Amino acid sequence: MKRKKSERIGAALSMAVFGGWICSVDAGVAVSYVDTQPTTNVVVSYTPAATKGYAWANNDNYRRDLGQSFLAPGNFTMSAISYQLSQGLRSGATNAAITVKVFESTDVSVIGTCISTNTGTYLPAGLDPAPAAGGWVTFDIDDVEVKSGKYYTTMLSFDEYAPLRDQGLYYLDGYEGQGFKSADGITYNRATGLDLAFVVQGTTPPPPDVTVSYSNAQPSGNVVVSYLPETTSGYAWANNDSYRRDLGQSFLAPGDFMMDAVSYQLSQGLRAGAVGAAITVKVFESADVSVIGTCIATNSGNYLPAGLDPAPAAGGWVTFDIIDVPVTAGKYYTTMLSFDEYASQRDQGFYYLDGYDGQGFKSADGITYARATGLDLAFVVQEVSEPEIGDIAVEYLGANGLALTWSTGTGFNYTLWKKTDLVADPAWNVSSNGIPGGADSVTVTTAVDAVQAFYKVTLE
């Protein structure tokens, strides 16, 4: 069971395009030094025990930009990167103008596209402690949104030539990313055998609205409605270079309940382009089976990862565990699946067969939804399981009464019952009803108006 979704506020960043590169405007970088490796909000790092020195340099003889890529282990917001010094602060680098660019790529061997540019100045003179070999220089950049499974490179560049402007950084080959360098700030080449010691800091997003899992067996717990045709054909939920199509299935609610998850049956194994891809799952409500209706819930997350055991296969089930959605009897509800970006081999097949009293829907643009006539996806809808109430904790508040606390779940209502004698009283009396449950528990205060009293709680 998931939390209720709160309002989401998004912020837009002004963007400009330069020579085919998309880089953020007016982004700045602050540079600082510490003796010890940064440890707060570390998302990914490489700190080899044995190290060698390699110069990020720009002097009278040559210019070379230098940087290191890393594989993003998940979605997060990158706020800073630190590199380990192999020498003290070089006199020609003191307060020098610098640029820090961030590149994004799907290939470890290619630096990719510039997505952020930050300008500032390098370390000043007179720092205490003074920069030394083994210390760390940190580049606090404008926040960069990092996507799981992609490679990101932060390239350091001195903006002008100067003597003794060659700052040494520690490195050792062996990291799964790639070092890059440039002699002109335009053409970037792999620095084979070089992986800089680094630390990336950032903030990870809150848990996804939707979690996706796979099982060989059909989901069986808390099933409210399902459609499992004996004869099946494959139909693709897809988003690739040729077309985009959202795909979903409606069902008629047989009663009021809280929808917790929907599962669809695979007609093929996990497609390479769909692995870990960003997805959106929307829920629509309608009084008419032929109309998709109004979007009442939007959930975001990532599709199945690689390396699952058992491996996804035709006939298996992929489950989308969404934020709980209240469903009303007699209305139609459609769960629409959408890949958020185009990619090749991003076409996941699902089993279908016409004959259900709901309706399949599809979209080519994520805006206009059309009936998929003759298509009804094999699916299972599950409701939120009833939380265990357990024991009631009682706290005596003196003349003010009693505080009664018990375990609850969001979206459930409870009734508190009372009697003064377990034997003599023939029936329980309602003390309070319509008590909304909290995410974990609820506390109710009641007056002390008898020598003794007994309480029980039931789920409404």
Supply the pLDDT for residue 25.
44
Question: Is the model's pLDDT at 13 over the cut of 50?
Answer: no
Least confident range of 100-114, 252-266, 441-455? 441-455
* Spatial contact of 103 and 112, defined as CB atoms under 8 Å apart: yes
206 or 264: whose pLDDT is higher? 264
What are the b/e assignments for 29-67, b being 16+ CB within 10 Å? bebebeeeebeeeebbbbebeebeebbbbbbeeebbbbb
CB atoms within 10 A of CB 116: 23
Question: Is the model's pLDDT at 10 over the cut of 70?
Answer: no
13 or 168: whose pLDDT is higher? 168
Q: State pLDDT tens for residues 32-70.
A: 999 999 999 999 999 998 899 999 999 877 778 999 999
Contacts of 269 (CB under 8 A, 6+ apart): 311, 312, 313, 314
Q: Which one, of 245, 265, 227, 247, lies nearest residue 365 by Cα?
A: 245
Q: Which two tokens stand for residue 105?
A: 């790529």
Fold match between 15-203 and 211-383? yes
Average pLDDT of the residues of the chain: 89
Supply the pLDDT for residue 177.
93
Is the full-model pTM beyond 0.85? no
Contacts of 115 (CB under 8 A, 6+ apart): 22, 23, 24, 102, 103, 104, 144
Q: State pLDDT tens for residues 433-449.
A: 888 887 778 898 888 77
Question: Is the model's pLDDT at 7 over the cut of 50?
Answer: no
Residue 223 — very low, low, confident or very high, per pLDDT cuts 50/70/90? very high
Supply the pLDDT for residue 206.
75
Task: Calculate mean pLDDT across residues 298-306.
Answer: 94
Task: Calculate mean pLDDT across residues 143-154.
Answer: 93
Instruction: Select from 3.20.20, 2.40.50, 2.60.40, 2.60.120 the CATH code of 15-203.
Output: 2.60.120
Supply the pLDDT for residue 438.
78
411 or 245: whose pLDDT is higher? 245
Q: How many CA atoms lie within 13 A of 396 on its CB side?
A: 5
Instruction: Select from 1.25.40, 2.60.40, 2.60.120, 3.40.50 the CATH code of 211-383.
Output: 2.60.120
Question: Is the model's pLDDT at 232 over the cut of 90?
Answer: no
Task: Calculate mean pLDDT across residues 191-204.
Answer: 94
Question: Is the model's pLDDT at 101 over the cut of 90?
Answer: yes
Q: Enumerate the domain spans of the chain.
A: 15-203, 211-383, 393-459
* Spatial contact of 98 and 160, defined as CB atoms under 8 Å apart: no
Supply the pLDDT for residue 12.
27
Residue 14 — very low, low, confident or very high, per pLDDT cuts 50/70/90? very low
* Whole-number percent of the chain with pLDDT over 90: 67
Task: Calculate mean pLDDT across residues 2-20.
Answer: 29
Task: Calculate mean pLDDT across residues 122-139.
Answer: 97
Question: Is the model's pLDDT at 372 over the cut of 60?
Answer: yes
Taking the CA atoms of the chain, what radius of gyration do you get in angstroms?
Answer: 29
Question: Is the model's pLDDT at 390 over the cut of 90?
Answer: no
φ and ψ of 113, to 5 deg: -110, 135
- Round to whole Å and give the CA distance between 280 and 367: 13
Least confident range of 20-29, 216-225, 311-320, 432-441? 20-29
Q: Which two tokens stand for residue 393?
A: 């904790």
